[in-house]
Amino acid sequence: MLYHVFMDVKIPRDLPAEERADILAREKAYSQDLQRQGTWRHIWRVAGQYANVSILDVRDNAELHQILSALPLFPFMQITVTPLLRHPSAIRGDDS
Q: Give me the domain span that covers residue 63.
A: 2-84
Mean pLDDT of the chain: 95
Give the pLDDT mean for 73-77: 98
Domain assignment present for residue 66? The answer is: yes
Residues across the chain: 96
Domain assignment present for residue 96? The answer is: no
Domain assignment present for residue 95? The answer is: no
Q: Exposure pattern of 53-83 as b/e (b: 16+ CB <10 Å)?
A: ebebbbeeeeebeebbeebbbeebbeeeeee
In this prediction, residue 94 has a pLDDT band, given cuts at 50, 70 and 90, of: low
Give the pLDDT mean for 43-51: 97
β-sheet bridge partners, residue 84? 2
Total number of domains in the chain: 1
In this prediction, residue 92 has a pLDDT band, given cuts at 50, 70 and 90, of: confident
Domain assignment present for residue 92? The answer is: no
Domain assignment present for residue 12? The answer is: yes
Which residue has better confidence, 64 or 95? 64
* CATH code for position 19: 3.30.70.1060
In this prediction, residue 88 has a pLDDT band, given cuts at 50, 70 and 90, of: confident
